[in-house]
Structure formats: structure tokens, C-alpha cells
Amino acid sequence: MDMFEEIEKQKKDLPRIKSLTNEVQKYDLNIYQKFGVLILFIAIVVGIILGNSYNTCTPSITYGSENCISQFDFSLMLEVWFAGIMVGFLFFGMGHIVYLLNDISNKLKK
């Protein structure tokens, strides 16, 4: 048996954009999840801004002055992104737990 024939038999089409948007629209985000997504976006923007505004100063030989230049600090950007992603996922996960508990409470009331 040829491996490529097996792949052709099991291959599925990629989902269409319309079916993906219909799948996503079924879920309604609560305030915690919206806050978590907002933190994620803010962390991305703040990480880029802080990474770009980092100054480095090197001592100069002439008259004891320092040469300060602004350069992009990739590690600072990644640190801010990591912290923002962790806090954003924490709030998003807490919001999903609240959603599930609310769903269970509504089913028990029936």
C-alpha cells in the first residue's frame, strides 16, 4: 500500500471562513473573558513600545561622558508579552470557569 494513497483517503478539506465564524459566534464572552482579551492586546502594544524605547548608555573615553543610544530591546518586549499573556489567560480562564458554573446553575434550576 502506498503512503500517499492513505493520505489521500484520510485527507479532509480545510474549514471555510464562514463555518469558522459561525462556530465562534455561538459563544458569548462574559466580562472576565473580555477583560482577559483586552489585557492580551494591551500587553502586545505595551511590549512593542517598551522594547522600542529602551536606552543603553556606554561610557566614553573623552571627558567621562556617556553615549546614550536608543535601540530595540527584544528581551524586554518578550518579558512584557509573557507577563501579559499569563495575566490575560488567567482572566480568560477564570471567565470560562464562571461561564461553566453559571451554565451548571441554570441547568440545575430547570
Is residue 8 situated within a structural domain? no
Is residue 12 situated within a structural domain? no
Is residue 25 situated within a structural domain? no
Is residue 97 situated within a structural domain? yes
pLDDT band at 86 (very low <50, low <70, confident <90, very high): very high
* For the chain, percent of residues with pLDDT exceeding 70: 73
Task: Give the range of the structural domain holding residue 104, as residue numbers without chain letter.
Answer: 30-109
What does the pLDDT average to over 59-69?
Answer: 63
What DSSP string runs through 72-107?
--HHHHHHHHHHHHHHHHHHHHHHHHHHHHHHHHHH
Is residue 15 situated within a structural domain? no
Q: Which residue has the higher pLDDT, 26 or 43?
A: 43
pLDDT band at 82 (very low <50, low <70, confident <90, very high): very high
Q: How many domains does the chain have?
A: 1
pLDDT for the residue numbered 4: 76
Query: Mean pLDDT highest for which of 17-26, 53-62, 67-76, 97-106?
Result: 97-106
